[in-house]
Amino acid sequence: MGGVLVAGCGGGEDTAGARKAGDSVSGGYPVAVTDCTGARTTFSAAPKKIVTSNASSLELLLRLGAGDKVIGTGFPPGKGTLPGALDTEAQKVTVLGRTVIPKEKLLGSGADLYIDTFASMGSMGGGGMGDAPTEEEFTAAGIKHTYLKSTACAAANKKPVTDLSAVEADITSLGAVTGTGAKAKQLVAGMRAKVDAVQKAVGGTGESERPTYFFFDYDAGTKQPTVVCNRQVANAVITLAGARNAFADCDGDYKQVGWEDVIAKNPDWIQLGVRDRGSEAANEKAFDEAEKWLRSHSATKGLKAVEEGHFVRIGSEQTTIAGVGNAGTVEKIAKALHPGKVG
C-alpha cells in the first residue's frame, strides 16, 4: 500500500527518478508519495504553506517540527489537548474554520498543500457547509490536495485495522514531504518501542482470554451510543493492548447502536472516552460525569464492567485520532487490563 497521501492533483507530473517516501530521511527531492488506491504525487520541494483539515494532521506536522509551514486549520485542537510546547504552537495557528473550512476560504488561503482527513466522510472532504472543492478547483488554486491514509482511507479498508502501520506510514510520508524525515524516523521508532513492549507481554494472549472492551464516547451523546468499529484506529489500539473491541464485528469506522446492543455485549471493561477539557481538573470532572452516567442509567448500571468498577480514564483524542499518542494509549490500556504482565 506504499505511502500515505492520496494524490488529489498529482496527474501529469513527471515522477521519474523521484524518491519514495520511505527511501531516505535526508530530505532530498523530488519525493513521491503513494496513497491507498495506488495514486502517486510527486513533490519537487517542501511545501511552504500548508492548511490542515483538522487537529490530527496538524498534530503530526507539529510533532515533526513542520508547524512553521502551517498557515491555517479547520477543527482546531482544544486548548490543552496537546502537551506543553505543542499546545502553545497549535494555539497560534490561524483557524480557518471551527469545523469544516468553507470552500472559498480554503481555495483562497494561499496554501500550496491541503492535508485532508475526511475522505470517508463524504462532503466533509473540503466543504461540509457546501460543495467540496473539485480537484480542478484545487489545481487552479495551486493547491495539492492530499489525504491522510490512517483516517481518510480507514473506512474503505478491506479488513479490520489491528496495527498502527497506517499511522506510521502517515508520519513517514509527511516527514519525507516536509523534509523532516529524520524526526519522522525517530517518532516511528518511539511508537514501535512502546507497542513492541506491550506485545511482548500480552501479544500472545488467547482470544478467549482477552477481556472485552467498550469505548464509551460520552461526548458523542448518551441517547444513542456511537461505537468504534473495526476500521477505526481505536480498534487497533484496543487489540494491541490485549483486549477485544466489543464492536469489532461491525465493518466501518463508526456506527450508532442502541443501548440494548451494548447490554448484549456486556463488556468487561469500559473506557470513559471524553474529549480534553483543557485542564487536568476539568478532565477529571468529565470522567466523573461519564462514570456517574453509566452507574445511574437503568440500561447500563447492571453491566459487568460498571458493577466491577472496570473503568479506564483515557481521553478520546489519543484513542480515536490517528497519531503518535496512539502508542501511549496502547500502553495505558494494557497496564490497566493486564497489571501483572505490563509494568
Domains (ranges, CATH) in the chain?
A: 31-123+130-156 (3.40.50.1980), 206-337 (3.40.50.1980)
Over 60: is that where the pLDDT of 26 sits? no
Nearest alpha carbon to residue 260 among 300, 287, 221: 300
Over residues 5-23, the pLDDT tens digits come to: 443 333 333 333 445 555 4
Does residue 145 or residue 292 have the better pLDDT?
A: 292
Please compute, for residue 286, the number of CA atoms within 13 A of its CA located in the half-sphere on the CB side. 21
Over residues 95-146, the pLDDT tens digits come to: 999 999 999 999 999 999 999 887 644 433 443 444 689 889 999 999 998 8
Does residue 152 or residue 15 have the better pLDDT?
A: 152
Q: Chain-wide mean pLDDT for the chain?
A: 87
Does residue 188 or residue 26 have the better pLDDT?
A: 188
Share of the chain above pLDDT 70, in %: 87
Q: Which three cell numbers stand for residue 249?
A: 464485528
Over 90: is that where the pLDDT of 240 sits? yes
What is the predicted pLDDT for the residue at 129? 41
What is the predicted pLDDT for the residue at 178? 95
Average of pLDDT values for 30-47? Answer: 82
What is the predicted pLDDT for the residue at 127? 39
Task: Give dist(CA 159, CA 312) in Å, integer.
Answer: 27
What is the predicted pLDDT for the residue at 7? 37
Size of the chain, expressed as the number of residues it contains = 343
Q: Measure the CA angle with vertex 79, ends 252 and 172; round to 5°.
A: 50
